[in-house]
A and B are shown apart, each in its own frame.
Chain A
Amino acid sequence: MSTAFVEIVENSTTLVCCGSGGVGKTTTAAVIAMAAARKGRNSVVVTIDPARRLAHALGLDTSDLGDDPRAIDPALWDPENKRVENGSMSAVMLNAKSTFDSLVEKYANNPAQVGRILDNTFYKNISAALSGTQEYMAMEKLYELHESGAYDLVVIDTPPSRNALDFLDAPNRMTKFLEGRAFRVLTAPARGGMRLVTRAARVFLRTTARVLGSEVLDDIVEFFGVFEGMYEGFHHRAAHVRDLLAHESTLFMLIASPRRDALEEAEFFAEQLREKNFPIAGAIVNRLHPHFTESLAQATRLRSETFTERANENEATTLLAELYANLASFQEVAQKERDHLVRLEELVSPGPVEKIPFLGEDVHDFSTLRLLEDTLFSKDTEADKIAAIPHAQ
């Protein structure tokens, strides 16, 4: 099972981690990049809104960072200096606004156009307010890093979105938005020609302005006017981003927790990816309850009930009643969690589904990242992994 993950880390070039919020996506993406670096590859992880301590560990918490990758000191991710020759690990925190700004700079015809767009209020709102922008910029970043040729492996976290597959669609939707066809029809008179639509359009615009305020409308008109000359460049670029996402070398990794909603989301993802023929590398399910024994939960529960009835006899029966009740609860929840994974395993097959037990602490620095790495890539059975958890005996 774990050999499949080793293979992914050694050979893949682009890995997209997807899953719902709160399942450890960012951390898992970082672990994969770290494991690749330790195998001698040049990896970069793109994180989106990491928890503060993880950002700190990755060196991403300085405010002046922008969104260029930063190399991480090997002493952090490889303190024993065991890495195979020239591995390197870098990290970058997505900043949708600056990624968008660089695209504008790249495709504008002249500095004056750049200035007019960057100053436009409507443009400034896009990164924060237009849904799908973060997704699009994440994919754009992926493309940029891939194209730079500086990395053997780009691992990307994906933004938490209502529909977790939004990012696959993001390049399409964004270019359609930027094209602003509907708006162009309305504002055609401002650019000469097409006078037929003017009257109805003018009433519509005036009414909308009355509701929203006229400055707002002016900004929109200006934005689509200035952006027009750049549309071709953006359109072209988005097509390349789409091609990279659809390329067979781009693999998708599903991240989930055993919570029902997180699993359903992962299953939904897997179904969508399969339908669209995107290759699924595998799935990682974090934070499972440990599996302490092979015996049946029902048997333990019966023992627990027996001793609960006898709980008043003496201290020994009281103790055993509580211990059996506790063990039975864990066996029941562990069984339920593993039952819930069956459907995901079918969907991800032949890719592996790796089960990571709860590790006893939040993963937020390199020592805990390495603990997670050991768990993910060890050939141990699940029971061995649990035994290896610090604190848990």
Chain B
Amino acid sequence: MRLVMDLSAFFESRVCIVSGKGGVGKTTLSAVLAVMAASSGQQVLLVDVEGKSGLSNAFGANPLEYEAVTLSQGVFARNITAEQALLEFFQDHNLNWVSKRLQSMNLVDVIATAAPGIKDILVLGKVKQIERRGTYDLIIVDAPAAGHTLTFLNSAAGLIDAVRVGPVRTQARDVQEMLTDPSRTQVILTTLPEETPVNETVETAEALVDLKIKVGAVLVNGWYSPCPAATVDEIRAAAVTAGTVMPDEEAQALADASSFVNMRHRLQQTQLARLEDMLALPILQLPFLFTADLGRPGIDTLTKALETAITDFETEAPAVTLPSSDGKTA
């Protein structure tokens, strides 16, 4: 398989579903992808499906609503929760009174249990509606945490089996068409270079292949850059050469910090190698940010890092025709 990528290919599909285990930075990376696309002039909609506040926090904005708000130049965001989507679905079918009744009688849970996946399908159905309307160049969905991503994306197939007729089935079929068309939908997997998240990423990627859903790339977050290795004695010697006074405690701290970051870097490389072995996909690393609290400055730093990673990847990729001529290395 030839791995190709450039910035435009990254956003080839209009719907981009960002998936990852809790704690790997999925929401931050969704925001990074949105900012990156917007900076190339695209109109981007970020969709939150869990009613979480991470996306709006990242941009220092108020909690998201069902109506889209502007988060930054070219970046819009809204949430689409299952409850809202279910009620809207009945409304769209001129069954406003049913929708009110479901709500007033607390029957939404009963319905969602009776037809598992219906909530997911209605959320994805709403995404499909937005996609079809063409208001945005790119729709980035911050998907439910990893275990649930597969249930989420598999809901259409499940419901097509369970519900034989009617508007829900039609909706499920339309969603299934959108998800399995690589020109319309791709999944971006996010992970950390650690054993458990890597295992989960590989499992998710394989399951997505079975579901015939395109995986565009894997983003590896929290990458530590190595530091030159040096013993305390070497550091003391360097201090002498540089003509500086250095307390022993400081030389020790410099050596410890260097040895620690290199230890983590080695562990991360092992996990990256596992990913590369198991997945024939573009794998891009994003740096661990020491300084930022992941507000807007953090997003901007990561956006630049991702653009660089994509450019470097192209240079390094086993291109079929042109050998890399600009001499750039990783």
Contacts and interface: CB of A to CB of B under 8 A. Distances in A.
Interface in B69-102: 90, 93, 95, 98, 101-102
A330 B107 contact: no
Contacts of B230: 319, 323
Contacts of B321: none
B259 A392 contact: yes
A360 B268 CA distance: 10
Nearest to A323: B254
A371 interface: no
Contacts of B195: 51, 53, 362, 364
B122 to A, nearest CB: 11
Identify whether the interface residues of A are mostly helix, strand, loop, or mixed.
helix
B23 A257 contact: yes
Contact of A204 (B98, B147, B235, B255): B98
Contacts of B196: 51, 53, 362, 364
Interface in B192-208: 194-196, 199
A295 B253 contact: yes
A336 B199 contact: no
B168 A293 contact: no
Nearest to A313: B242
Interface stretch (B158-166, B175-183, B308-316): B158-166
Contact of A323 (B23, B227, B244, B293): B227
Interface stretch (A82-90, A214-222, A244-252, A347-355): A214-222
B167 interface: yes
A216 B255 contact: no
A134 to B, nearest CB: 11
Contacts of A313: 242
Nearest to B112: A129
A326 B257 contact: yes
Contacts of B319: none
A356 to B, nearest CB: 15
Interface stretch (A37-45, A59-67, A104-112, A258-266): A258-266
Interface residues of B, number: 72
Contacts of B23: 20-23, 257, 259, 262
A320 B242 contact: yes
Nearest to B118: A212
A221 to B, nearest CB: 10
B260 A330 contact: yes
Interface in A15-53: 20-23, 49, 51-53
A13 B264 CA distance: 38
A49 B147 contact: yes
A302 to B, nearest CB: 12
Nearest to A216: B114
Given A213-B164, A259-B23, A327-B253, A208 B259 contact: no
A272 interface: no
Given A130-B109, A130-B113, A160-B22, A329 B291 contact: yes
Nearest to B28: A261
Given A21-B22, A393-B259, A183 B242 contact: no
Given A262-B23, A323-B230, A326-B257, A211 B249 contact: no
A332 B291 contact: yes
B291 A392 contact: no
A20 B165 CA distance: 40
Interface string A182-213: 11011000000000000000001001101111
Interface in A306-348: 307, 310, 313-317, 319-320, 322-324, 326-327, 329-330, 332-333, 336
A336 B290 CA distance: 9
Nearest to A262: B23
A171 interface: no
A275 interface: no
Interface in A352-373: 358, 360-362, 364
A292 B238 contact: no
Nearest to B54: A261
A330 B22 contact: no
Contacts of A310: 242
Contacts of B130: none
A276 interface: no
A213 B24 contact: no
B114 A162 contact: no
A208 B111 contact: yes
16 contacts: A52-B199, A53-B195, A53-B196, A182-B105, A208-B111, A211-B90, A212-B115, A220-B110, A319-B234, A323-B255, A330-B257, A330-B260, A332-B290, A333-B291, A362-B196, A392-B263
